[in-house]
Amino acid sequence: MEELDEELIADQREVLRGLTRQFRREEIDYQVVMIKKPSFDDNGNFLGIEEKPEVLKLPTQNRDSIKAGELLGKRFGMWTDKVELESNNQVVIVDDTD
């Protein structure tokens, strides 16, 4: 069961690789568009306009690339103003309200 979970659930490295592919616009985005084409009979007579769906392969959209960049930046602490402070001193709380 544990092996199955490891195969099915993305680990940290896989998530980072996926975000990096999105950020670099290497992923393919599929979009369906309607294409209008004139239709003619065998004698060349105009019959009308045919609409057919067509699937276009496009690179990752800019907004998805930007979002992936933001998530990667957060992961690596690039967008934070926090200061991490480490200390070996103990905190002492004095209750002098008596």
Q: How many domains does the chain have?
A: 1
Name 71's Cβ contacts closer than 8 Å, sequence gap at least 6: 19
Residue 90 inside a domain? The answer is no
Residue 30 inside a domain? The answer is yes
In which band, very low, low, confident or very high, does the pLDDT at 82 lie, cut at 50, 70 and 90?
low
Q: How far apart are alpha carbons 26 and 13 in whole angstroms?
A: 17
Q: What percent of the chain has pLDDT over 70?
A: 93
Residue 32 inside a domain? The answer is yes
Residue 93 inside a domain? The answer is no
In which band, very low, low, confident or very high, does the pLDDT at 98 lie, cut at 50, 70 and 90?
low
Residue 89 inside a domain? The answer is no
Residue 81 inside a domain? The answer is no
Mean pLDDT of 90-94: 83
Residue 61 inside a domain? The answer is yes
pLDDT tens profile 9-49 = 888 899 999 999 999 999 999 999 999 999 999 999 999 99
pTM of the model: 0.56
Domain coverage including residue 62: 2-75
